[in-house]
Structure 1
């Protein structure tokens, strides 16, 4: 059997071997509903769309995705099972990709279970379902980028708590990168080219464009390259740390 598929199946099953997976899914669904229908003013807006639903996804992922990612490698390093994993007929890249895909699939399942909200908006009105599909795509890609960061930082620490905190901090900085307050601060001390580069790093800006139905190849490539970069860093960190 393909090593990636073997590790993928093992990791995905492990999520549902304990109540943690079910707790995560329930929390994600409850918060998604609360943010959409209450904080997002879904009914008060009088518009048939899911803008309130997707608006809060960056902030949901900021804490929930690092909570999933923190165990990916920190547990392996703490227990010493990482050495056993890497002695199997599997390459470093296969292990990194398989564990990432299993976690991403788990988060994707939680996202897919929000379909009643999509059904609700179709019952109440006539939304542009193409825009909604784009929003789900952008949300899944952003979750993948958050997860890749969390996986890399999990590999750098034996402590899940430390991995969680570091992941939240890095993801938070990448979210804030495109906010006017941050950009105005850099405009006062840096050239415009650097300011534009910082703005281009913002997860929020790229996700916001996709969630509005604007499928720009640059936004898609940003998330794809972000995932690739952090997975590469993940492999490098494991290679450096596996002898610890």
Structure 2
């Protein structure tokens, strides 16, 4: 864990050493406010909950998270520092986990800064704070899955723009996998296949958690997604290194 912590601190400090972190947090807070209070009709609904706030998270993450993830490995390869990093007395697993945890922690910090929205709904009514806590947890786990996919896509190329586009496309497929549009299109397939496609949807699992139901299957899904894509990241980097 010591080596992972070194990578984590190095990466996290690099975010705040440039305007990237502050710009991301400001944009994230502005967009969540606009989507919650205006597009989500927060006041018109006259309900003390944060459903409008969390409803837009998958779509916000679809574009904001790839902007964080695209630099994880693409920038290292482009600048030539990847080779230097891998020559240090750390193994590839520690580097992959450390860089991912730094990005995930940074995303968590951005989420924490949305606490005024939580305070607002408590001031205006009596929301079920247990559901809100569960929704925050589900949002953070979903963000971790987006980041893990982005990490793998960033390892594929040394071009950040290409990494961004690949991440958006792959994440979009996982977001809409359980949507009526996709399921209606696949209705001619065997029901087992349709159910399997729906089970890979971020929306399916996040919506369940958003209702305050912490089903172990939903939590395991996100953790498995994170682990699988981080393993894929390590495999891609190892293959690139071998070549």
Alpha-carbon distance in structure 1 between the residues aligned to 2:6 and 2:200: 34
Where in structure 1 are there 5+ consecutive unaligned residues? none
Classify the secondary structure of the residue corresponding to 2:72.
helix
The answer for the alignment partner of 1:62 in structure 2 is 62
Alpha-carbon distance in structure 2 between the residues aligned to 1:155 and 1:196: 31
The answer for the alignment partner of 2:161 in structure 1 is 161
1:222 aligns with 2:231: no
Divergent runs of 4+, >2 A: none
Q: Kindly indicate whether the alpha-carbon contact (under 8 Å) linking 1:82 and 1:242 is maintained by their aligned counterparts in 2.
A: no
The answer for the alignment partner of 2:124 in structure 1 is 124
Alpha-carbon distance in structure 2 between the residues aligned to 1:58 and 1:38: 18
Counterparts of 1:89-168 in structure 2 under 5 Å? Answer: 89-168=89-168
The answer for the alignment partner of 1:198 in structure 2 is 197
TM-score by length of 1: 0.98
What does the per-residue CA deviation read over 1:27-67, in whole Å, with 9 as the maximum and x for residues that have no partner?
A: 00000000000000000000000000000000000000000
Classify the secondary structure of the residue corresponding to 1:141.
helix
Question: Deviation of residue 243 (structure 1)?
Answer: 4.2
The answer for the alignment partner of 2:84 in structure 1 is 84
The answer for the alignment partner of 2:240 in structure 1 is 241
The answer for the alignment partner of 2:34 in structure 1 is 34
Question: Deviation of residue 242 (structure 1)?
Answer: 2.0
Question: Deviation of residue 181 (structure 1)?
Answer: 1.4
Question: Deviation of residue 20 (structure 1)?
Answer: 1.1
Where in structure 2 are there 5+ consecutive unaligned residues? none
Alpha-carbon distance in structure 2 between the residues aligned to 1:107 and 1:243: 32
Classify the secondary structure of the residue corresponding to 1:242.
helix
Alpha-carbon distance in structure 2 between the residues aligned to 1:168 and 1:44: 32
1:47 aligns with 2:47: yes
Alpha-carbon distance in structure 2 between the residues aligned to 1:96 and 1:18: 22
Question: Deviation of residue 187 (structure 1)?
Answer: 1.5
1:212 aligns with 2:204: no
Classify the secondary structure of the residue corresponding to 1:137.
helix
Alpha-carbon distance in structure 1 between the residues aligned to 2:11 and 2:148: 16
Alpha-carbon distance in structure 2 between the residues aligned to 1:2 and 1:69: 23
TM-score by length of 2: 0.99
What does the per-residue CA deviation read over 1:68-121, in whole Å, with 9 as the maximum and x for residues that have no partner?
A: 000000011111111111111101100000000000000100000000000000
Alpha-carbon distance in structure 1 between the residues aligned to 2:241 and 2:68: 22
Classify the secondary structure of the residue corresponding to 1:215.
coil
Alignment RMSD (CA, Å): 0.9
Alpha-carbon distance in structure 1 between the residues aligned to 2:28 and 2:231: 28
How many residues are aligned here? Answer: 243
